[in-house]
């Protein structure tokens, strides 16, 4: 029997991986053998995952909380699963899906069932990602149709803008001074100038 490892992933630095770590602790995975990435699962170019790949040896065991923590791209999940189980010759256990435990059913039927479940779950994970993207797009479109504006709200022109603008045009003041008098950033002042000229 080789070493035991765990892999956890959250999509951003704001998200918390504690649920995944607790599940790996329950499996007695040594903390120094747990690799955590705080990065999107769109591909496998993740620093901690790549470090884990280099450490894994034949007969090692890898625990993952759920298949979407491994990745989100259907084809890439299948490719990584092949690399881990066939090339690296390790066992993988997906804690949320007991059927995805390569230690069980090493015969042809067990491998066949595991492959079917993996393909189905990988497809579902990617499909859900596509659905989320589509819902976001539809939500943004619906909000725009209701008049919701995205981005920073536009600042109203100061009452004395025309006076400041005329002084700036006459080269009595610089753009920096004009922006200070308007109490805005220089870029905002120049944006207002562009609108004024139109």
| Cα–Cα distance list, 192 to 33, 151, 166, 182 (Å) | 56, 17, 13, 11
Are the C-beta atoms of residues 93 and 63 closer than 8 Å to each other? yes
Catalytic residues: 11
DSSP percent split of the chain into helix, strand, coil, nearest 5: 55, 10, 35
Phi, psi values for residue 35, rounded to 5°: -110, 125
**Residue of 167, 171, 82, 68 whose CA lies nearest to 123:** 68
Distance separating alpha carbons of residues 198 and 75, to the nearest angstrom: 51
Q: What is the SS3 assignment for 77?
A: helix
**Residue of 31, 41, 30 whose CA lies nearest to 66:** 41
């Amino acid at each position: 029997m080789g070493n035991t490892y765990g892999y956890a992933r959250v999509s951003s630095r704001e998200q918390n991986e504690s649920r995944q770590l607790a599940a790996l602790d329950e499996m007695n995975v040594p903390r120094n053998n747990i690799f955590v990435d705080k990065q999107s699962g769109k591909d496998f170019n993740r620093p901690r995952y790549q470090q884990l790949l280099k450490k894994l040896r034949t007969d090692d065991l890898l625990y993952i909380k759920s298949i979407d923590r491994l990745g989100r791209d259907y084809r890439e999940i299948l490719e990584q699963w092949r690399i881990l189980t066939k090339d690296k010759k390790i066992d993988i256990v997906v804690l949320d899906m007991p059927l995805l435990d390569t230690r069980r059913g090493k015969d042809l039927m067990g491998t066949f069932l595991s492959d079917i479940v993996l393909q189905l779950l990988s497809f579902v994970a990617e499909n859900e990602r596509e659905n989320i993207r589509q819902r976001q797009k539809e939500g943004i479109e619906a909000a725009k149709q209701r008049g919701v504006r995205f981005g920073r709200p536009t600042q109203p022109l100061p009452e004395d803008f025309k006076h400041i603008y005329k002084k700036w045009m006459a080269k009595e003041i610089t753009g920096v001074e004009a922006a200070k008098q308007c109490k805005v950033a220089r870029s905002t002042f120049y944006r207002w100038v562009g609108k004024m000229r139109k």
